[in-house]
Amino acid sequence: MNAPVNSKDLKTGSTRRELVVGATLVGGALLVGCGPGDILAVGAKADFGAFGPFIKIAADGAVTVISKHIEFGQGNHAGLAAIVAEELDADWSKVTVEQAAANAKVYANLGMGVQGTGGSTAIANSWMQLRKAGASARAMFVDAAAAKWSLPAAEITVKDGVVSHAKSGKSAGFGDLLADAAIMKPPETPTLKDPKAFTLIGTDRVRRKDSQAKSDGTARFTQDVQLPNMLTAMVAHAPRFGATVASFDATEARKVPGVVDVFQIPTGVAVVADNTYAAKAGREALKVTWDESKCQKHSSDKLTADYTQWAAGKGTLPEKTPWQAFETRGDATKPTEGQIFEAAYDFPFLAHATMEPMNCVAEIGGGKNKLTFGSQIPTVDQLNTAKIVMTLPGKVEIETLFAGGSFGRRGNFQSDYAVECVHIAKKVGGGRPVKLVWTREDDMTAGYFRPLTHHRVKIVTDKDGYPVSWTHRVVTQTLMKGSPMPTKGVDETTVEGTKGSPYLKATPVVDAQVLLPDLDVPVLWWRSVGATHTAFVMEHTIDQLARKAGKDPVAYRMAMYEKAGATRHMAVLKLALEKAGPVTPGWSRGVAVHESFGTAVAQVAEVKLVDGVPKVGRVVAAVDCGIAIAPNQIAAQMEGGICYGLSAGLFGRVSLKDGAVEQTNFDTYRVLRNSEAPHVETHILPSGNAPTGVGEPGVPVIAPAVANAILALNGQATNSLPMVKA
Amino acid sequence: MATTLDINGKSVAVSATSETPLLWVLRDEAGLTGSKFGCGIGQCGACTVLADGTPIRSCSVPIASLAGVKIATIESLGGAHALQQAWVKHDVPQCGYCQSGQLMSAAALLASNPKPTDADIDAAMDGNICRCGAYQRIRAAIKDAAGLGDASETAKA
């Protein structure tokens, strides 16, 4: 889940997301009649050893940091381990990371209230928690040494896992002092370092701990799980969302060597086999007749046409679908004098298209309720599993593995593919392991897309070309459907980025509304969520307004930021431009700036058109993410986020036709390839603020920067994505 | 019908039927799970292995066509291959799922072309998708392993 939890929310500790997920917990709690923390904790006793749930230290002094967050690419394991190692003064070269078990009581994301990773919160919510854990363990070693050596604790220092007393020349490793330290009382309020004294955080020494395993084939993904007696399953899914199984003929499927069983489950017909290829061959031989009487038959073209009408105030709105205001200022009913700028923008459905298609291993029955997979929100996966197998959520064990990407896809209130695997494993029974494998085609057509979205803006500008009135309409699907609690107020995931924009803040009259038609097309957060479309609309609109006013787009932005008090926007834009230097001859330049998840990012993109297709050569990114913990990984997230956003901006499009998804694999869903990737230079704004996330904020900035470069090149605005039409 | 394959220098008898794609034999039968399933149609490159030194998409090559062919998987690189060292040095992987395939394509490139140009890298690596977008580091690591200089870019605070 790339849920919109920002740093401000983390401080108040109560977020809309928490309320929503909290309601899931209440559902579970009602089921069993006790508190959410208790029912979700695995096992009654929480025996985490002397240094608490986040730190294990071995007899040889080696430090293991327990990560409550899944590592699916964004490098959080490196950052989380570095926070602990910094305060503990551990030897970084000997620090390893281990994945925590599912246990919401101990391992909740403090920004969500449940155990889960997303919304670029892994580092942000863990920052103080892990600093305290590290500092507490360090104090225990200092106290142990002081007692053992009969020396004042204040004179004892720790460096690289070695505890020393300079004057006496005494020193001992963590391993030597382990038994003594383990019986020390942890301090109630451990003393944290002054960030100026950090020796690891913020340095290039903070590198990934998983690069070797991910470079030699030994990193373990769900796809790689092999267990004794394990079966592999594939499922024949409905060709259209909402269709159900009318009947099926498994005669031929059962003849396929290796096929063990064929049976119906809620989402289709499962073929269970001894190995993956047999499951696939079995599924191909299966004949299913689908009942499509109740399924949706949407087409992207018709949806786009409808959304365009509705945003323009024409046509008939769907029932029970009102316009909802999300930002209002001044009196929009009074006509405003000035020049009028109008534009509309269209965004398609997008697939997350992680490299590892969705999959899960489940062992159900015979006293076992275990899932092994890349679980993004273990608490929700526990709850959804518990409902099927009729147990307490805390009795569902989850072993979280590396996941081959998520980008939002694996954080799902329905736990869709995990639940599918649980149904199959339950039917197989006896605790026999079942690995559900989705093919790429399953993955791409099963949905949970970034919703198809339409924006319309009407802006009145003053004599200097600045907005005096801004009318904004968004039509998209809510991402909160299926959440256990009806959303109160506007679903912010649909409008964040337009809502809260400094450009709106700098405009005296604002009338911004969203319409959320209910389509029965499964949609979900997609890396950077609302900003995937709002950042494009705001940033590309601003460039057009600036050019219409005959002003430089950078100066125009700066004037509006000044008015809005958007000092971080100004700082990152200034830094990016400074580092970018003069425009590379032969290239056109575009800039864009956007803040999401508490992190402000500016990008300067150099673009040329090659046979009419945008080629992005160089991107200079500046980022303000508070204190930089792992600069190398912040750069990696800018590089990767830019590729992800550029892939969607140039090529990404899932389309529906008569209810069926037209793209099935990478031959029809084009993604960015190596030769199309820009060279990214990342610059981090020095900051003393608490860290904010970097997994998502680099994503939404690149497409508008590219569109703005094209606008500068030939005056052509980009009013629909992707830029390269199939 | 048993088929004998030459995998990583070892003769391996497999029981899969002859039309079975190599990938599933490697993963499910030979227990070599480094090569990954990504698309099943030879579009993403996650399953790339070498056949007599040439990169192939093992998801789309039936074992029937591989009699007498030397197959090399990621496991054959040993963990300390110059490319693997460069991959670690540059922290190339993010989710890591595509990297076995990336490395095998890169290994084939350097074996036949020890000093590749950017255009050579484009041609050799465009069949391998990385959704995390580690492309820039993949390129830098290939150049580093080839002794073409350390082109790494890290954040400048």
Closest CB to A211 among B28, B88, B135? B88
Q: What is the structure's pLDDT at B41? A: 98
pLDDT grade, residue A5 (50/70/90)? very low
Q: How far is B95 from chain A (nearest CA, A)?
A: 4
Q: What is the pLDDT of residues A123-157, one digit of tens each?
A: 999 999 999 999 999 999 999 999 999 999 999 99
Q: What is the pLDDT of residues A233-289, one digit of tens each?
A: 999 999 999 999 999 999 999 999 999 999 999 999 999 999 999 999 999 999 999
Asked if the Cβ–Cβ distance from A639 to B137 is below 8 Å, we say yes
Q: How far is A204 from chain B (nearest CA, A)?
A: 8
Q: What is the structure's pLDDT at A8? A: 38
Asked if the Cβ–Cβ distance from B129 to A666 is below 8 Å, we say yes
Rounded CA-CA distance A723/B146 in Å is: 36
B77 interaction partners in chain A (CB closer than 8 Å): 216
Query: What residues of chain B score a pLDDT lower than 70?
Result: 1, 150-157
Q: What is the structure's pLDDT at B153? A: 47
B155 interaction partners in chain A (CB closer than 8 Å): 628, 631-632, 634-635, 638, 682-684
Q: How far is A354 from chain B (nearest CA, A)?
A: 6
Rounded CA-CA distance A102/A116 in Å is: 9
What are the two backbone dihedrals, phi and then psi, of residue A29, each rounded to the nearest 5 degrees?
A: -65, -40
pLDDT grade, residue A488 (50/70/90)? confident
Asked if the Cβ–Cβ distance from B131 to A354 is below 8 Å, we say yes
Closest CB to A665 among B39, B97, B157? B39
Rounded CA-CA distance A361/A367 in Å is: 16
Q: What is the structure's pLDDT at A486? A: 57
Closest CB to A210 among B35, B73, B93? B93
- Whether residue A46 is predicted with pLDDT greater than 50 in this model: the reply is yes
Mean pLDDT of A174-179: 97
Asked if the Cβ–Cβ distance from A356 to B136 is below 8 Å, we say no
| More confident of the two residues A263 and A21 | A263
pTM for the full predicted model = 0.95
Whether residue A521 contacts residue A656, with contact meaning beta carbons closer than 8 Å, is answered with: yes
B156 interaction partners in chain A (CB closer than 8 Å): 579, 681-684
Which residue of A221, A355, A526 is the best one to mutate when testing the B interface, meaning the one whose CB has the most B CBs within 10 A? A355
Q: What is the pLDDT of residues A415-434, one digit of tens each?
A: 999 999 999 999 999 999 99
Asked if the Cβ–Cβ distance from B40 to A665 is below 8 Å, we say yes
Rounded CA-CA distance A328/A332 in Å is: 8
Q: How far is A437 from chain B (nearest CA, A)?
A: 10
Asked if the Cβ–Cβ distance from B132 to A643 is below 8 Å, we say yes
Asked if the Cβ–Cβ distance from B91 to A407 is below 8 Å, we say no
Whether residue A98 contacts residue A66, with contact meaning beta carbons closer than 8 Å, is answered with: yes
DSSP states of A135-165: HHHHHHHHHHHHHHHT--GGGEEEETTEEEE
A543 to A103, A554, A566, A593, A665: CA distances (angstroms): 48, 9, 17, 11, 35
State the helix-helix crossing angle for B82-89 and B135-145, rounded to 10 degrees: 130
Q: What is the mean pLDDT of chain A?
A: 93
Rounded CA-CA distance B34/A214 in Å is: 9
Lowest mean pLDDT among A47-56, A181-190, A686-695, A711-720: A47-56
Maximum Cα–Cα distance for chain B, whole Å? Answer: 61
Which residue of B3, B32, B109, B136 is the best one to mutate when testing the A interface, meaning the one whose CB has the most A CBs within 10 A? B136
Q: What is the pLDDT of residues A387-404, one digit of tens each?
A: 999 999 999 999 999 999
Closest CB to B153 among A73, A635, A675? A635
A410 interaction partners in chain B (CB closer than 8 Å): none
Q: How far is B77 from chain A (nearest CA, A)?
A: 7
Please give, one letter per residue, the 3-state secondary structure of A318-341.
Answer: CCCCCCEEEEEECCCCCCCCCEEE
Residues 6+ apart with CB under 8 A from A45: none
What are the start-end ranges of the H helices in A506-662?
531-548, 553-564, 567-580, 631-650
Cβ neighbours around A559 below 10 Å, total: 16
Mean pLDDT of A708-712: 98
Q: What is the structure's pLDDT at A410? A: 97
Q: What is the pLDDT of residues A110-126, one digit of tens each?
A: 988 899 999 999 999 99
A675 interaction partners in chain B (CB closer than 8 Å): 122, 125-126
Which residue of A198, A203, A214, A643 is the best one to mutate when testing the B interface, meaning the one whose CB has the most B CBs within 10 A? A214
Q: What is the structure's pLDDT at A21? A: 39
Of A616, A723, A610, the closest CA to residue A678 belongs to A616
Rounded CA-CA distance B101/B49 in Å is: 7
Q: What is the structure's pLDDT at B151? A: 55
Rounded CA-CA distance A279/A513 in Å is: 48
Q: Give the Cα-Cα-Cα angle B55, B56, B62 (nearest 5 degrees).
A: 155
Cβ neighbours around A480 below 10 Å, total: 19
Alpha carbon A444 to chain centroid, angstroms:
18
- Whether residue A13 is predicted with pLDDT greater than 50 in this model: the reply is no
Closest CB to A72 among B20, B95, B136? B95
Asked if the Cβ–Cβ distance from A214 to B44 is below 8 Å, we say no
Asked if the Cβ–Cβ distance from A665 to B17 is below 8 Å, we say no
Which sign does the torsion angle of CA B88, B90, B91, B96 carry?
Answer: negative
Closest CB to B135 among A257, A353, A674? A674
User: What is the chain B residue with the closest CA to A631?
Assistant: B155
User: What is the chain B residue with the closest CA to A278?
Assistant: B20
What is the count of residue pairs from A and B with beta carbons less than 8 Å apart?
A: 212
Asked if the Cβ–Cβ distance from A674 to B24 is below 8 Å, we say no
Rounded CA-CA distance A455/A514 in Å is: 9
A647 interaction partners in chain B (CB closer than 8 Å): 131, 133
Mean pLDDT of A630-656: 98
Rounded CA-CA distance A205/A215 in Å is: 19
User: What is the chain A residue with the closest CA to B157?
Assistant: A684
Segment A582-590 long-range contacts (CB within 8 Å, at least 24 positions apart):
A584/A617, A584/A618, A587/A617, A587/A618, A587/A709, A588/A709, A588/A710, A588/A712, A588/A713, A589/A709, A589/A712, A590/A543, A590/A704, A590/A705, A590/A706, A590/A707, A590/A708, A590/A709, A590/A710, A590/A711, A590/A712
Of A150, A116, A137, the closest CA to residue A61 belongs to A137
User: What is the chain B residue with the closest CA to A626?
Assistant: B157
Of A442, A385, A339, A458, the closest CA to residue A661 belongs to A442
Rounded CA-CA distance A359/A420 in Å is: 10
First to last CA, chain B: 61
Closest CB to A686 among B32, B93, B157? B157
What are the start-end ranges of the H helices in A479-589?
502-505, 531-548, 553-564, 567-580
- Whether residue A485 is predicted with pLDDT greater than 60 in this model: the reply is no
B24 interaction partners in chain A (CB closer than 8 Å): 275-277
For residue A298 the two structure tokens come to: 């949407």
What are the two backbone dihedrals, phi and then psi, of residue A608, each rounded to the nearest 5 degrees?
A: -135, 160
- Whether residue A4 is predicted with pLDDT greater than 50 in this model: the reply is no
Q: What is the structure's pLDDT at A548? A: 97
A631 interaction partners in chain B (CB closer than 8 Å): 154-155, 157
Rounded CA-CA distance A725/A651 in Å is: 7
Q: What is the pLDDT of residues A311-348, one digit of tens each?
A: 999 999 999 999 999 999 999 888 788 999 999 999 99
B27 interaction partners in chain A (CB closer than 8 Å): 223-224, 276
User: Residue A681: beta bridge partners?
Assistant: A620
Alpha carbon A415 to chain centroid, angstroms:
15
Q: SS3 of B3, please?
A: strand
Which residue of A230, A646, A674 is the best one to mutate when testing the B interface, meaning the one whose CB has the most B CBs within 10 A? A674
- DSSP code for A402: B
As a whole-number percent, the residues of chain A with pLDDT over 70 amount to 93
Helix and strand numbers, DSSP H then E, in chain B: 5, 5
Q: How far is B68 from chain A (nearest CA, A)?
A: 23
Amino acid in position A101: A
Asked if the Cβ–Cβ distance from A216 to B122 is below 8 Å, we say no
Residues 6+ apart with CB under 8 A from A298: A519, A521, A656, A659
Asked if the Cβ–Cβ distance from B155 to A634 is below 8 Å, we say yes
B32 interaction partners in chain A (CB closer than 8 Å): 217
Rounded CA-CA distance A333/B123 in Å is: 58
A297 to A32, A294, A416, A657, A660: CA distances (angstroms): 40, 9, 21, 7, 7
First to last CA, chain A: 29
User: Residue A486: beta bridge partners?
Assistant: none
User: Residue A397: beta bridge partners?
Assistant: A370
- Whether residue A72 is predicted with pLDDT greater than 60 in this model: the reply is yes
Of A1, A212, A193, the closest CA to residue A97 belongs to A212
Task: Give the DSSP H or E segment for A610.
Answer: strand A599-610
pLDDT grade, residue A47 (50/70/90)? low
State the helix-helix crossing angle for A699-714 and A631-650, rounded to 10 degrees: 50
B151 to A54, A642, B89: CA distances (angstroms): 36, 19, 12
Residues 6+ apart with CB under 8 A from A667: B41, B43
Q: What is the structure's pLDDT at A40? A: 55
A217 interaction partners in chain B (CB closer than 8 Å): 32-35, 73-75, 100
Q: SS3 of A599, please?
A: strand
Closest CB to A632 among B91, B130, B138? B91
Whether residue A623 contacts residue A638, with contact meaning beta carbons closer than 8 Å, is answered with: yes
Asked if the Cβ–Cβ distance from A276 to B24 is below 8 Å, we say yes
Whether residue A149 contacts residue A167, with contact meaning beta carbons closer than 8 Å, is answered with: no
- Whether residue A675 is predicted with pLDDT greater than 90 in this model: the reply is yes
Closest CB to A632 among B16, B134, B155? B155
- Whether residue A574 is predicted with pLDDT greater than 60 in this model: the reply is yes
Rounded CA-CA distance A297/A303 in Å is: 11
